[in-house]
């Protein structure tokens, strides 16, 4: 680790002031940041420990939804009574990620900011446009097993590795952000993460001095909720492909189909066209195939990850079959 | 003693204490479960500096400069050690001499080139990332990384009869191409050392498997005499081959301690362990099997391509058990090695059979299907009477028993093997089996056994216990022979101040050093018999007393009695083929959509000579079977095609099995004594569990879902790609 | 505020880079907590902080002032081992022993998590009372790698204690 100054803010406002400089970072659970600091992928000169701010509450919202504080741990969120009953896709996604030890430290805000697991990003002796803009991308010509098939750019094919945010994207949750002087804003989880484009160093829309204060889930909806994660071992592995699904049926037809995907893009992948295609239709293998065609029409593999295209198709079909009760 | 004849009448069976073979808990158990057992880096040594290795970010070339002065300016940095005695690769197992040194010559990406020493670990680690180093790197276009892109060297070749003709003539034949990826040992304790130099004597606490060889390797590297070095490895946090030879951190810590006159600790980062310690080579294998109408083999071909760095003598011995496991008149066994610039290839648990056996057993499964013979029956029909080429008899052979007992316990259904017979929801369920085989290795070993005047005994050898149970079984052997309960025998290991053992590796530790303890105890029994005035074969020792009730304490009259046992393998291995055998049976479920595979249950039946401790032997078996699951489903080293570096160099992306991957495992230890294998009639068991089990899982995947996957590991993508459409 | 480790107070390190793991091992001499990967990928460094198990390698010691940490040394001693420590010995739930303190710290906290009805990926139903089945224990212990492959015995050891607790 590079030497850094360690500080604790007096309050949220103070925290936004302290984290405004470019070489300053906020630390919450630290499960990703400390890892990357040891590798010197991250080299903040000042580290602002926000853990003692009171942002860990999980509380009902006025409109029947649920607000999860930025410092609520993944464990607390997954174990929360309403999350288990009304937003099981979120509980399932969190529980499918990492381990209990990590989830006990990992927070809502930190997890949203989790950085990619691309092997070239974490190895500072390899080229990586995300870590070191302009240095090139080692993965495109190298081993792209973990990498994206949708929304890539010539600069970067990294994936967002998390699970929680994929479920939040399916649920259309909103990220609450604050900045110095109470300049708050709200960003849908679906828009919080970016595609790499020509700025792969920027994972998401958060600006310096901005701090996530919480995530709000809309009121619960009818339907079946599924989080399906395909990984190389049965636990403690990042997703090859994952699907978060909130699907409802009415009179034999699909009345709701909110789907988000992990492991295939630089962000939790949400394609509004899928819902448009599926809603109002009777579920069938042919319909699921059409949905996959639409989802994957621009998909591109990079050798090692070519398999994600058929895997995403098959996982989507299996998830939709499960959600709608169709036998494939 | 030298063993030239089978030890048919073993004294261990004639003793009275009754502890040999018994499921006694490990003597060091409570030290391990309470965190009080010290591993190499954990000795509280005053004034200790912290060293961190600096590694090269180039595949091949030269280090042209290291700005030491600038390094010394950095916070806390005491020294930047660059010394041509530092080693650039770990020593191969049993090398007994320095490996490749002169680290300025870089031969693989991530090679250690220097050591930064600082007051604290954080200071040293940070400084390694900011040293100014220049390189003269070779053009990557000229550096081979892919074993298929170079002209390989022939490593071994043997043939008998005409395999091609046998394949042509046979009513049933299989020609299968199977690949396996590289593996990492990934022992949980990273390679670590603390070196201290007092001006005359170098003392190194290190995590090593074979101190008897390591002391010579370290002495040769440093140009010291062996009696100027003391190596201590009392607890070793797993080895699996990765700590057979002395590695970079131990030599670097030693050089730094000698230069600085202060103790220096060097612990490799997990990434460094992956990048600079031995890998198991990837393999490309071709299996050709020709059989008559009843499945009897008429032809047997096994060819393999493996890789290593230029200059390394080791080549993954893929064909090792293929020479003798099954019959077949017409035989061809060939292995080539490609010289490429990935890190050193060396021993990883069960070198050879761990990858050769699964491939062979997949081919056998294909032959079973092709010939319509049940897979268990096919194997039973092809067990040879003697070595298929040399004609040498087997010392002892329990494959048939293992196959039969394993099948019975598992509930193997000898009926139709049509794939896709059972589906539950999205999951196909099926079964598979495979044989296990592993050559028997044994080595010279010494151990001192002392009966103390107080009636207790001490066993001393520089042998290590890497988790196998050596502390416990050596105490059982001595206790059995000397008539002492296990807790009256103190076993002291892992210190070169003791007599040279065999080291732990190649599954040879128990039979080699166990025999040395046995030999020492035989000599002690003679002395005791003389003192007691009885013939040695009439001497009965139990619970610290002889048959007439006289206690050992009284018999010794205040003196200690000490003997050094020296065991040497004689020429008996010319007369017999000795190997451990076994069989695996498993049931898996495979997801129809995603190809995810879960092992639901697994039974292993193993014959490995005398069981010295039922508990620790069984643990070795379940450990090997767990590795079989990893080799079958999850473990793969991925190398960058551009510069050959290992991309998945950590435990997040190199997937060793986790708890959830491993079901309850059933183990059957088939009764066996092998008088030709060792004086104590024991063979090795540490590796047997991983010598074919991955094949059983592969065969079960096929039986479940119809996907015949030819690439290990069978990750979801590979299974999915072969899943039949329907 | 100091940090409390196994009921003893310690002053925090000066260098904020020091991980809780290195602080325990180097500064406090509590080497029972192991460093297997230093990146939260193996679980050997698992300790219990304020009742919850965490990877001590991924936490900075300075972030823990006022916290109460229990390490393997705080769970039992060779003369007075905890029920889990005893069960690990009886079931041979270890081989080389390096992952063992982490497995035991993890299992200790896990049994409490099940008692608190916290769900896992293996829980079939998020609404039901969670039971310490072998499948639940396997999933919940999956953050603790054992390269020797002692998993089957570790599960047997924990299951025995879990059953004792339930009875």
Asked if residue B53 is part of any domain, the answer here is yes
Nearest in space to C153 (alpha carbons), one of C131, C133, C138: C138
The structure tokens listed for B657 are 């099995």
- Specify the DSSP element, H or E, that contains C161: helix C151-166
Which residues constitute the domain of residue B399? 349-441+574-722
Domain of B547, CATH number, reads 3.30.365.10
Sheet holding B445-451, edge to edge: B2-3, B561-569, B445-451, B457-460, B489-492
Helix (H, G, I), strand (E, B) or coil at B407: helix
Q: In this complex, do B641 and A120 lie within 8 Å of one another by their Cβ atoms? A: no
Asked if residue B325 is part of any domain, the answer here is no
- Specify the DSSP element, H or E, that contains A178: strand A174-178
Distance from C-alpha of A232 to C-alpha of A137, rounded to nearest angstrom: 24
Asked if residue A296 is part of any domain, the answer here is yes
Mean pLDDT of the region A261-289: 98
Asked if residue B293 is part of any domain, the answer here is no
Task: Return all residues near B682 (Cβ < 8 A) that are at least 6 apart.
Answer: B510, B511, B514, B608, B609, B610, B611, B612, B674
**Shared domain check, B86 and B212:** yes
**Chain centroid, CA A275 distance in Å:** 20
Asked if residue B712 is part of any domain, the answer here is yes
Whether the pLDDT of residue A181 is over 90: the answer is no
Distance of CA A60 to CAs A86, A217, B546, B612, Å?
Answer: 12, 9, 79, 63
Helix (H, G, I), strand (E, B) or coil at A53: coil
B133-137 and B297-308 strand pairing: unpaired
> What one-character-per-residue DSSP string does A103-152 give?
HHH-BHHHHHTPPP--TTTS-TTS-BTTTSTTS-BHHHHS--TT--SSS-
Distance of CA A310 to CAs A72, A292, A296, Å?
Answer: 36, 9, 9
Q: In this complex, do A124 and B129 lie within 8 Å of one another by their Cβ atoms? A: yes
Contact B54, B266 (CB under 8 A): no
Residue of B nearest to C156 (CA): B664
Contact C153, B25 (CB under 8 A): no
Selected residues 682-721 of chain B with any CB under 8 Å from a CB in chain C: 689
Q: Is C136 exposed, middle or buried (0-12, 13-18, 19+ CB in 10 A)?
A: buried
**Shared domain check, B129 and B78:** yes
**Shared domain check, B653 and B596:** yes
**Shared domain check, B714 and B596:** yes
Contact B704, B430 (CB under 8 A): yes
Give B726's pLDDT tier (boundaries 50, 70, 90).
Answer: confident
Distance of CA B518 to CAs B347, B474, B680, B681, Å?
Answer: 28, 9, 7, 11
Q: In this complex, do A99 and C58 lie within 8 Å of one another by their Cβ atoms? A: no
- The b/e string for A252-261 (b: 16+ C-beta within 10 A; e otherwise) is eebebbbbbb
Nearest in space to C20 (alpha carbons), one of C51, C45, C1, C41: C45
Domain of A287, CATH number, reads 3.30.390.50
- Phi, psi values for residue A256, rounded to 5°: -150, 140
Tens-digit pLDDT profile for residues A214-265 = 999 999 999 999 999 999 999 999 999 999 999 999 999 999 999 999 999 9
Per-residue pLDDT, A297? 98
Domain boundary among B546, B568, B590: B568
Residues of B serving a catalytic function are: 687
Distance from C-alpha of B341 to C-alpha of A158, rounded to nearest angstrom: 27
Q: Which residues of C touch A27 (CB under 8 A)?
A: 60, 63
Q: In this complex, do C121 and A92 lie within 8 Å of one another by their Cβ atoms? A: yes
Asked if residue B425 is part of any domain, the answer here is yes
Per-residue pLDDT, C64? 98
Whether the pLDDT of residue B498 is over 80: the answer is yes
Asked if residue A61 is part of any domain, the answer here is no
Whether the pLDDT of residue B618 is over 90: the answer is yes
Mean pLDDT of chain B: 97
Can you name the residues that pair with B288 across neighbouring β-strands? B175, B301
Mean pLDDT of the region B701-706: 98
Per-residue pLDDT, A213? 98
Per-residue pLDDT, B494? 98
Asked if residue A119 is part of any domain, the answer here is no
**Shared domain check, B479 and B404:** no
**Shared domain check, B419 and B270:** no
- CA within 13 Å, CB half, A157: 27
Per-residue pLDDT, C27? 96
Give residue for tokens 């198990």: C53
Distance from C-alpha of B654 to C-alpha of B161, rounded to nearest angstrom: 43
Per-residue pLDDT, C1? 86
Distance from C-alpha of C88 to C-alpha of C94, rounded to nearest angstrom: 7
Q: Which residues of C touch B36 (CB under 8 A)?
A: 32, 73, 77-78
**Shared domain check, B89 and B223:** yes
Q: Which residues of A touch B182 (CB under 8 A)?
A: none
> What is the signed CA dihedral for B204, B210, B213, B217, rounded to 10 degrees?
-50
* Cis peptide preceding B713, ω within 30 of 0: yes
Percent of chain A with pLDDT over 90: 98
Whether the pLDDT of residue B221 is over 90: the answer is yes
- For chain C, report the end-to-end CA distance as a whole number of angstroms: 41
Whether the pLDDT of residue A122 is over 90: the answer is yes
Distance from C-alpha of B83 to C-alpha of B116, rounded to nearest angstrom: 12
Q: In this complex, do C142 and B236 lie within 8 Å of one another by their Cβ atoms? A: no
Nearest in space to A26 (alpha carbons), one of A70, A86, A79: A70
The structure tokens listed for B547 are 């048959």
Distance from C-alpha of B722 to C-alpha of B703, rounded to nearest angstrom: 13
Give A148's pLDDT tier (boundaries 50, 70, 90).
Answer: very high
**Shared domain check, B452 and B397:** no
Whether the pLDDT of residue A183 is over 90: the answer is no
**Shared domain check, B26 and B46:** no
Length of chain A: 328
- Phi, psi values for residue C61, rounded to 5°: -60, -40
Mean pLDDT of the region C29-44: 98
Distance from C-alpha of B563 to C-alpha of B568, rounded to nearest angstrom: 16
Asked if residue A300 is part of any domain, the answer here is yes
Distance from C-alpha of A71 to C-alpha of A49, rounded to nearest angstrom: 12
The structure tokens listed for A169 are 């994207």
Chains that touch B (3 or more CB pairs under 8 A): A, C
Percent of chain B with pLDDT over 70: 100
**Shared domain check, B74 and B191:** yes
Mean pLDDT of chain C: 97
Contact A92, A226 (CB under 8 A): yes
Q: In this complex, do B721 and A232 lie within 8 Å of one another by their Cβ atoms? A: no
Nearest in space to A161 (alpha carbons), one of A291, A13, A31, A254: A31
Nearest in space to A245 (alpha carbons), one of A156, A321, A303, A131: A321
Whether the pLDDT of residue A88 is over 70: the answer is yes
Distance from C-alpha of A65 to C-alpha of A217, rounded to nearest angstrom: 5
Tens-digit pLDDT profile for residues B671-695 = 999 999 999 999 999 999 999 999 9
- Phi, psi values for residue A227, rounded to 5°: -120, 120
Asked if residue A311 is part of any domain, the answer here is yes
DSSP 8-state assignment for residue A282:
P
Contact B413, B422 (CB under 8 A): no
Give B67's pLDDT tier (boundaries 50, 70, 90).
Answer: very high
Mean pLDDT of the region B616-637: 98
The structure tokens listed for A299 are 């998909």
Which residues constitute the domain of residue A271? 224-324
Q: Classify the phi-psi angles of B9: left when phi > 0, otherwise alpha if psi is within -120 to 50, otherwise beta.
A: beta
Contact A155, A198 (CB under 8 A): yes
Asked if residue A58 is part of any domain, the answer here is no
Per-residue pLDDT, B545? 97
Distance from C-alpha of B720 to C-alpha of B707, rounded to nearest angstrom: 8
Contact B360, B382 (CB under 8 A): no
Q: Is C56 on the interface with B (CB under 8 A)?
A: no
Per-residue pLDDT, B173? 98
Task: Pick from A4, A125, A315 the residue to mutate for testing the B interface (most B CBs within 10 Å).
Answer: A125
- Phi, psi values for residue B619, rounded to 5°: -65, -40
Tens-digit pLDDT profile for residues B392-413 = 999 999 999 999 999 999 999 9
3-state secondary structure string across B99-122: CCCCCCEECCCCCEEEEEEECCHH
Whether the pLDDT of residue A287 is over 70: the answer is yes
Task: Return all residues near A164 (Cβ < 8 A) that are at least 6 apart.
Answer: A74, A77, A90, A93, A94, A97, A108, A111, A112
Residues of A with CB under 8 A from a CB of C: 1, 3-6, 27, 30-31, 34-35, 38-39, 47, 49, 51, 75, 78-79, 84-85, 88, 91-92, 95-96, 98-102, 104-105, 234-236
**Shared domain check, B618 and B585:** yes
- Specify the DSSP element, H or E, that contains A290: helix A285-295
Per-residue pLDDT, B573? 83
**Chain centroid, CA B151 distance in Å:** 29
Domain boundary among B568, B589, B609: B568
Distance from C-alpha of B84 to C-alpha of A284, rounded to nearest angstrom: 69
- How many domains, in total, are found in chain A? 1
**Shared domain check, B66 and B86:** yes
Give C166's pLDDT tier (boundaries 50, 70, 90).
Answer: low
- How many domains, in total, are found in chain B? 3
Compute the nearest-CA separation of C26 from chain B (Å). 9
Asked if residue A310 is part of any domain, the answer here is yes
B172-180 and B711-712 strand pairing: parallel
Length of chain C: 167
Tens-digit pLDDT profile for residues B637-648 = 999 999 999 999
């Amino acid at each position: 680790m590079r030497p850094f100054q360690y500080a604790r803010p007096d309050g949220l406002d103070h925290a936004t002031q302290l984290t405004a400089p470019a070489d300053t970072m906020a630390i919450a659970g630290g499960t990703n940041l400390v890892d990357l600091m040891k590798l010197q992928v991250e080299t903040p000169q000042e580290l602002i420990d926000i853990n003692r701010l009171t942002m860990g509450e999980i509380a009902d919202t006025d409109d029947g939804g649920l607000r999860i504080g930025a410092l609520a741990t993944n464990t607390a969120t997954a174990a929360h009574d309403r999350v288990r009953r009304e937003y099981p896709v979120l509980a399932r996604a969190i529980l499918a990620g990492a381990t209990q030890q990590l989830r006990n430290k990992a927070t809502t805000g930190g997890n949203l900011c989790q950085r990619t697991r691309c092997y070239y990003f974490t190895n500072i002796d390899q080229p990586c446009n995300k870590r070191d803009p302009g240095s090139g991308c080692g993965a495109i010509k190298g081993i792209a097993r973990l990498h994206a098939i949708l929304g890539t750019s010539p600069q970067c094919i990294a994936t967002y590795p998390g699970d929680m945010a994929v479920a939040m994207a399916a649920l259309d949750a909103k990220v609450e952000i604050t900045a110095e002087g109470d300049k708050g804003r709200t960003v849908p989880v679906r828009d919080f993460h970016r595609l790499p484009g020509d700025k792969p160093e920027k994972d998401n829309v958060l600006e310096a001095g901005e701090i996530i204060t919480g995530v709000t889930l809309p009121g619960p909806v009818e339907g079946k909720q599924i989080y399906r994660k395909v990984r190389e071992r049965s636990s403690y592995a990042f997703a090859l492909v994952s699907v978060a699904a909130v699907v409802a049926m009415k009179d034999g037809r699909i009345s709701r189909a909110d789907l988000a995907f992990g492991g295939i893009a630089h962000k939790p992948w949400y394609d509004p066209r899928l819902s448009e295609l599926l809603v109002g239709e009777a579920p069938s293998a042919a319909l699921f195939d059409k949905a996959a065609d639409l989802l994957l029409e621009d998909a591109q593999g990079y050798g090692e990850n070519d398999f994600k295209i058929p895997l995403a198709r098959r996982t989507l079909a299996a998830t939709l079959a499960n959600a709608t009760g169709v036998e494939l | 003693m030298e063993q030239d004849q089978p030890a048919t009448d073993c004294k261990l069976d004639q003793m009275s204490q009754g502890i040999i073979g018994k499921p006694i808990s490990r003597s060091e158990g409570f030290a391990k479960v309470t965190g009080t057992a010290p591993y190499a880096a954990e000795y509280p040594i005053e004034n200790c500096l912290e060293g961190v290795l600096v590694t090269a970010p180039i595949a091949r070339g030269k280090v042209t400069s290291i700005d030491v002065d600038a390094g010394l300016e950095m916070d806390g940095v005491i020294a930047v050690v660059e010394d041509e005695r530092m080693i650039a690769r770990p020593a191969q197992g049993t090398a007994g001499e320095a490996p490749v040194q002169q680290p300025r010559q870089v031969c693989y990406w991530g090679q250690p080139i220097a050591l930064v020493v600082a007051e604290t670990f954080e200071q040293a680690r940070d400084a390694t990332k900011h040293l100014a180093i220049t390189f003269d790197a070779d053009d990557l276009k000229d550096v081979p990384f892919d074993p298929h892109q170079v002209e390989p060297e022939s490593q071994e070749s043997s043939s008998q009869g005409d395999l091609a003709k046998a394949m042509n003539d046979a009513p049933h034949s299989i020609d299968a191409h199977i690949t396996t990826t590289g593996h990492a040992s990934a022992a949980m304790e990273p390679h670590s050392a603390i070196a201290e130099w007092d001006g005359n004597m170098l003392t190194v606490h290190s995590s090593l498997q074979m101190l008897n060889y390591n002391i010579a390797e370290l002495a040769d590297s440093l140009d010291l005499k062996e009696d100027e070095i003391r190596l201590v490895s009392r607890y070793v946090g797993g080895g699996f081959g990765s700590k057979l030879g002395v590695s970079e951190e131990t030599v670097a810590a030693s050089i730094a301690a000698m230069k600085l006159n202060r103790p220096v600790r060097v612990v490799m980062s997990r990434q460094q362990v992956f990048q600079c310690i031995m890998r198991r080579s990837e393999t490309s294998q071709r299996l050709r099997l020709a059989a008559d109408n009843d499945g009897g083999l008429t032809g047997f071909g096994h060819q393999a391509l493996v890789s290593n760095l230029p200059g390394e003598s080791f080549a993954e011995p893929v064909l090792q058990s293929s020479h003798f496991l099954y019959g077949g008149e017409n035989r061809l066994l060939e292995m080539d090695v490609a010289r490429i610039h990935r890190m050193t290839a060396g021993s990883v648990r069960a070198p050879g059979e761990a990858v050769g056996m699964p491939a062979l057993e997949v081919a056998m499964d294909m032959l079973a299907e092709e010939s319509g013979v049940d897979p268990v029956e096919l194997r039973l029909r092809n067990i040879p009477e003697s070595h298929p080429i040399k004609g040498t008899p087997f010392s002892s052979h329990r494959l048939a028993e293992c196959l039969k007992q394993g099948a019975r316990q598992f509930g193997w259904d000898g009926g139709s093997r049509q794939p896709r017979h059972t589906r539950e929801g999205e999951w196909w369920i099926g079964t598979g089996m495979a044989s296990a085989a592993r050559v028997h290795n044994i080595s010279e070993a010494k151990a001192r056994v002392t009966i103390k005047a107080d009636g207790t005994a001490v066993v001393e050898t520089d042998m290590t216990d890497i988790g196998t149970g050596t502390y416990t079984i050596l105490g059982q052997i001595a206790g059995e022979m000397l008539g002492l309960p296990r807790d009256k025998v103190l076993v002291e290991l892992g210190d070169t101040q003791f007599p040279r053992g065999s080291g732990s590796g190649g599954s040879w530790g128990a039979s080699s050093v166990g025999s040395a303890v046995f030999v020492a105890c035989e000599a002690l029994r003679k002395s005791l018999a003389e003192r007691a005035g009885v013939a040695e074969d009439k001497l009965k020792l139990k619970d610290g007393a002889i048959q007439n009730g006289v206690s050992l304490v009284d018999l010794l009259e205040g003196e200690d009695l000490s003997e050094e046992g020296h065991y040497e393998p004689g020429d008996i291995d010319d007369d017999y083929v000795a190997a451990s055998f076994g069989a695996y049976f498993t049931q898996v479920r495979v997801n129809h959509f995603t190809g995810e595979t879960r092992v639901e249950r697994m039974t292993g039946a193993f014959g490995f000579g005398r069981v010295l401790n039922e508990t620790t032997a069984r643990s070795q078996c379940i450990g090997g079977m767990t590795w079989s699951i990893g080799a079958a489903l999850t473990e793969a080293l991925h190398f960058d095609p551009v510069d050959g570096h290992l991309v998945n160099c950590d435990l997040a992306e190199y997937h060793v099995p986790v708890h959830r991957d491993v079901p309850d495992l059933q183990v059957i230890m088939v009764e066996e004594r092998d008088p030709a294998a060792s004086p104590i009639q024991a063979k090795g068991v540490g590796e047997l569990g991983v010598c074919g089990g991955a094949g059983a899982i592969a065969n079960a995947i096929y039986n479940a879902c119809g996907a015949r996957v030819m690439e290990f590991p069978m990750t979801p993508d590979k299974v999915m790609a072969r899943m039949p459409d329907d | 505020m100091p940090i409390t480790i196994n009921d003893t107070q310690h002053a925090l390190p000066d260098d904020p880079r020091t991980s809780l793991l290195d602080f325990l091992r180097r500064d406090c001499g509590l080497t029972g907590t192991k460093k297997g990967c230093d990146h939260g990928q193996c679980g050997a460094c698992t300790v219990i902080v304020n009742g919850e198990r965490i990877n001590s390698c991924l936490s900075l010691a300075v972030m823990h002032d006022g916290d109460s940490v229990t390490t393997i040394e705080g769970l039992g001693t060779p003369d007075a081992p905890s029920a889990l420590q005893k069960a690990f010995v009886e079931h041979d739930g270890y081989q080389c022993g390096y992952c063992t303190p982490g497995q035991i710290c993890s299992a200790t906290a896990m049994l409490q998590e099940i008692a608190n009805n916290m769900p896992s990926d293996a829980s079939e139903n998020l609404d039901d009372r969670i039971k310490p089945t072998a499948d639940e224990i396997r999933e919940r212990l999956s953050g603790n790698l054992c390269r020797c492959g002692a998993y089957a015995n570790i599960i047997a050891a924990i299951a025995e204690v879990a059953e004792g607790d339930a009875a």
